[in-house]
Structure 1
């Protein structure tokens, strides 16, 4: 299976604060951030898919979203849930439905392929008119789609991006429990997959920064 892209953590250090998630910080539907791995049992249909994912993970088949069946991938750190991804074979109609569903509650903030990332917030701030903005966005998207690997990163619409010069700036001003959604189109040559990954990037980055700041023994 293709590796899940690890986006969102580059450049986040300037956007951090010290708070962590509460039990009400939901990733997707009823899946709560930091919920214990013991909440998801084999009796409920969950199975260990750590080897395929490359991180501690449980999977669940036939999870329904936008009238389609997905495999849910629950990724854990220290046995606490940190992200939920939905995976399905790529289908043009499903891709369109997913973009439409995400756009209702989220705002597009970045596009990325295997080689680069386009800051959509920065592009909007720098573009002299809507035509230039749309052209640059469409061109980047077309290249990514043709390569078979493209990631759309969205942030909840309740977090305004207007007035910010970059995605990092908008994220810095957002609450610590801001939710992100990444729509990933991934081709490995043998198959084409679509994944939607829900996470709370600032909370996870806070954890990383907290570990970095811990005192270490002298050596």
Structure 2
């Protein structure tokens, strides 16, 4: 299974290029707050709330990185909250997706079932950057052995985010329309491994909750 440490060696630790999307865009033409009623069966969407654990509508065969994904739209108060792309895992797909994301997103943290590895905090605490990859590699090994590993990325340039003290501050001090992407690998010896990419706008979601 290809891990981020291997991928980073390939790209030479280049983690982001600054590219901002239009305000409130989640993915493609899907926008934060879009009404649940717009995604009808007539348009090919089907109810997948039970699988996603919240009000959701799904659509099959959505292209991303020239691959076909299943798409899940999840809603809060009938307004679109997040867009998730799902596919079976393989090393080539992981590399392709991570490569696409790091063109405009910066990695800020890795999340396992038990622990968080804060990449902003880690980068600021180590003068010798060569020590980062062994730490990341060990964290990946442990998390994958436990069955789940998430890479959390923010759509801001690295030189801005690394001025922050930690990943939470990197998110909280970003503009309200800043997207967060969470690339997650599930590793299961019985049912196989798969990955998903979830796009969200956490600050807009917090603002919506405060106003409701």
TM-score when normalising by structure 1: 0.81
3-state DSSP of counterpart to 1:104: coil
Where does residue 191 of structure 1 map in the other structure?
192
Where does residue 163 of structure 1 map in the other structure?
163
Distance 1:132 1:158, change over 3 A: closer
3-state DSSP of counterpart to 1:150: strand
3-state DSSP of counterpart to 1:105: coil
Deviations 1:124-169 (A, max 9, x none): 1111211122221222123223333100000003472122110122
3-state DSSP of counterpart to 1:185: strand
Q: Distance in 2 between matches of 1:158 and 1:30?
A: 23
| Residues 2-151 of structure 1: pairs in structure 2 closer than 5 A | 24-151=23-150
3-state DSSP of counterpart to 2:50: helix
3-state DSSP of counterpart to 1:63: strand
Q: Distance in 2 between matches of 1:73 and 1:132?
A: 38
Q: Distance in 2 between matches of 1:83 and 1:175?
A: 17
Deviations 1:67-119 (A, max 9, x none): 11100000011111000000011111101111111111100011011111111
Q: How many residues align?
A: 189
Distance 1:104 1:111, change over 3 A: same
Q: Distance in 1 between matches of 2:170 and 2:89?
A: 31
Q: Distance in 2 between matches of 1:136 and 1:184?
A: 19
- Residue 207 of structure 1, CA deviation: 3.0
Distance 1:141 1:72, change over 3 A: same
User: Relative to structure 2, which stretch is displaced further, 173-182 or 139-148?
Assistant: 139-148
3-state DSSP of counterpart to 1:135: helix
3-state DSSP of counterpart to 2:171: helix
Q: Unaligned 5+ residue runs, structure 1?
A: 1-22, 212-219
3-state DSSP of counterpart to 2:144: helix
Q: Distance in 2 between matches of 1:161 and 1:59?
A: 33
3-state DSSP of counterpart to 2:106: strand
Q: Distance in 1 between matches of 2:23 and 2:37?
A: 18
Q: Distance in 1 between matches of 2:73 and 2:165?
A: 33
